Amino acid sequence: MCALIALAFAPAFASPQLELKGLHPGMTREEAKTILPTTQGLTLGGVQPYTSAAPLIVRYRDERVEAITFVFRPRDFDRIREALQSKYAAMTCAESVLHNGFGAPVAQVACRLSDGDLLLTAQRYAGNIEMGSVDLRRAPDPAQTQLQKKKNTQDL
């Protein structure tokens, strides 16, 4: 009886499924277009995208959403992190030090949340010190990762 009661209330207390603007990996292209027909004027956590030309980058494979990326200016990272952590309290962040092209240190913050086969990440600096990113994708399959490593070492 107690188990039935717990199951009845489980969805109410479960953490929200990982998604960005209603989109999540695995949904069809048509579902994605229905949820977000246009990205014009899109913000994330009140933050403007790095460029209005591509505010939300949605990548597809076999007509299904594979990954969703939002790129922003690093100065807005704290607002992004606050919004993500208020929605996904289990998200953890770690600080590290990067060095710019002149060797000067810059404080990097990288946040991560894994939920089943989905992975949500946010970085103050993504690829360079000009932009940060929020990325939602399927978590890498460990078996596929090992297979790819093996292929890479055979390609030397």
Q: What is the dihedral of CA 114, 117, 118, 122, to 10 degrees?
A: 40
Q: For the whole model, what pTM was predicted?
A: 0.79
Residue 5 lies in a domain: no
Domain enclosing residue 105, as ranges:
17-154
Angstrom distance (rounded) from CA 8 to CA 115: 21
Q: Is residue 3 included in any domain, yes or no?
A: no
| CB-CB neighbours of 93 under 10 Å | 15
Q: How many domains does the chain have?
A: 1
Residue 103 belongs to a domain: yes
Would you say residue 1 lies in a domain?
no
The whole-angstrom separation of Cα 43 and Cα 73 is 12
Residue 18, SS3 per DSSP: coil
User: Could you tell me which of 81, 82, 54 has the C-alpha nearest to residue 68?
Assistant: 54
* Regions of the chain where pLDDT drops below 70: 1-16, 144
Output the pLDDT for position 127.
86
Look at residue 84 and tell me if it is in a domain. yes
